[in-house]
Amino acid sequence: MTKTYIELWLWLIITAPVLLVLQNWISRHTQTVFLLLTRHTGMAILLNQIVFLPGVVLHEMSHWIMARLLGVRTMGISVWPKRQSDGTLRLGYVHTKKVDFVRESLIGVAPLMFGCAAVVAIGLKLLDLDNVGVALLRGDLINGFLTVLHVFRSADLFIWGYVLFALSNTMMPSSSDRRAWPIVGILVVALGLVLYYVGMPSILQTALSNLVIDGVRVIATAFTVTIGVDIVVIPVLYAIEWFLWQFVPGDRLKFSIK
């Protein structure tokens, strides 16, 4: 159990920063491609929103559903992009009544929870990407390659691949979503230390351990699937951007996603 626990946390710790780097790259260069294509900031924002719309809808609906489940009144929801005073772009928002930091943190983490569940369901259940990972981990490159070919022969590959790309690259909580996390994290650690020293019933300890392990496994798996999708998309996106810079003259126009 301990070995599995450590391996899962290491898996999550390694994949999380890699995913953030890839997502930031994709976010910036997707915007650049649309700016080069349209030469118009407003149109570029609209096209960017259309591409990531499935993920934006899931992200904001996750906030809304969690708020309603926790009894928090919502005062508005939008999936329409809006430029901020600092020049950044917010893809969507849900306005809620100000509440305690526990419920605020749960509402903030909802997109990650819903997003990871959707990514795992699509990536593993519909596209069988878990078989690719298992083959590669075993060093069986031939079966891994054959499994990849099988995935690419799927009739629904491009549809589900697009949905997977849009969902996975918008599921990370924003800075405002993470506002209450430090306080909750400190309280969780403190509670864990108290229970450890006071003593916890073995049944409760096992149940909590299994819950944490399952949660970390789902998140790490979702991050891994997203990394795989992004690695496929990045060369294509880079080639399109390079082509546009060669044949479409003009000044650089930039904005950033918030």
Specify if 11 maps to a domain: no
Q: Which residue bears the tokens 């899962």?
A: 8
Question: Which structural domain range is residue 91 located in?
Answer: 16-257
Count of domains for the chain: 1
Question: How many other C-beta atoms lie within 10 A of the C-beta of residue 23?
Answer: 19
Asked if 87 contacts 253 with a C-beta cutoff of 8 angstroms, the reply is: no
Asked if residue 243 is part of any domain, the answer here is: yes
Classify residue 9: in a domain, yes or no.
no
Rounded Cα distance between 32 and 144, Å, is 34
pTM equals: 0.77
Taking 50 as the pLDDT cut, the residues of the chain under it are 250-258
User: Can you tell me whether residue 155 is helix, strand or coil?
Assistant: coil
In a domain? residue 39: yes
**89 lies in a domain?**
yes
In a domain, 2, yes or no: no
Q: The tokens 């609209």 sit on which residue?
A: 46
Residue 7 in domain: no
Alpha-carbon distance values, 239 to 29, 43, 77, 245 (Å): 11, 22, 36, 10
Give me the pLDDT at residue 150, please: 60
Whole-number Å distance between alpha carbons of 221 and 15: 9
* Per-residue confidence (pLDDT) for residue 127, from 0 to 100: 65
